Amino acid sequence: MKFIDESKIEVIAGDGGNGAASFRREKYIAKGGPDGGDGGWGGSVYAVADRNINTLVDYRFARHHRAKNGESGRGADCYGKGADDVLLRMPVGTVITDINTGEQIADLAHDGQKALLAQGGKGGLGNLHFKSSTNRTPRQCTPGEEGERRELQLELKVLADVGLLGMPNAGKSTFIRAVSAARPKVADYPFTTLHPNLGVVRVDTEKSFVIADIPGLIEGAAEGAGLGHQFLRHLARTRLLLHLVDIAPMHEGVDPVHEAHAILNELKKYDEALYHKPRWLVLNKLDLLEDRDEKIAAFLGEFGDDTRYFTISAINGEGCKELTYAIMEHLEQIAEQERDAIAESAQETEIDIYQP
């Protein structure tokens, strides 16, 4: 299935049905009075997060989604039937924004989460509501309200605990194949990864985390070079970034230090918040180095960053197990800190009950 991570759609809720103006007319009953019913509600449009969907391809060409109008009221106190709501199933992680106002309508972060996109119109009132002691034969009724109409931007941000960052051919796809069951394409040429891949890394029988591999960045991506920044949004929800660096490039003219700094510069241009996320340096392709210690020490000295680093060889799995255990420990620490923060916040909001 083709991976689509953004789309624009228009949602149109149904109009409410009109109220009816009628009077009771039966044999032997004179002047039966008003009996016009109300119109039914128009159908609303909702978005529902579905974990069984992982792309927005269904909304690439189906751009218009309209709910039906409510039925009009009728005589004999008959109310119009309300129209059924329209449910649009979207991947978990979809962010929905109103194009005209820029307002974020919903962030579908959990499976089954439901969000209202367009409210159906309310049905009009029949003349039954307008009768009074001074108005025995009301002939007025109200029309149904119009349903909402919105133009929306859909943007998918995949949910992952860890994100991989690096130049093309840094070994990101090989790494995710080594530590998970995901099988992204691997080849000896750049840009083999054309869309994000997710892999579940199982550290223990009850411990696992999700890792995301996105297409590699190159210098000048902010100006549109390569695949640009179009997939960096998928790292926005991650808790840890792994910056993979090819420590043993095939071409002599390639400087790993320059490439590492180029990635960080592109990341900073895209989003300061993403740049300041926890980030570890992962030096890959150790199997191609003869004097490992010297090359690694020279790289770290020239790179000039105190970022925590690991050395691995994704092709044969060397160092990968130690890295995954360290990631799991880091994620558990973050989860514990979040639980403590929630508990502390709950204590601060407690209200002391006065007891005389």
Q: Which two tokens stand for residue 92?
A: 């978990």
| Phi, psi values for residue 51, rounded to 5° | -70, -10
Q: Is the pLDDT of residue 38 over 70?
A: yes
pLDDT tier at 41 (50, 70, 90 boundaries)? very high
pLDDT in tens, 143-185: 999 999 999 999 887 777 888 888 877 788 888 888 876 665 5
Alpha helices in the chain (DSSP H): 58-61, 172-179, 256-270, 272-275, 292-303, 320-348
- In the chain, the domains with their CATH numbers are 6-156 (2.70.210.12), 162-342 (3.40.50.300)
pLDDT tier at 10 (50, 70, 90 boundaries)? very high
> What does pLDDT average to over the chain?
81
Q: What is the pLDDT of residue 230?
A: 57
Cβ-count burial 303-342 (b if 16+ within 10 Å, e if not): beeeeebbbbbbbeeebbeebbeebbebbeeeeeeeeeee
Q: How many residues belong to the chain?
A: 356
Q: Which two tokens stand for residue 215?
A: 């297409």
pLDDT tier at 12 (50, 70, 90 boundaries)? very high
Cβ-count burial 92-124 (b if 16+ within 10 Å, e if not): bbbbbbeeeeeeebbbbeeeebebebbbbbbbb
Q: What is the pTM of this model?
A: 0.66
pLDDT in tens, 98-127: 999 989 998 888 888 999 999 999 999 998
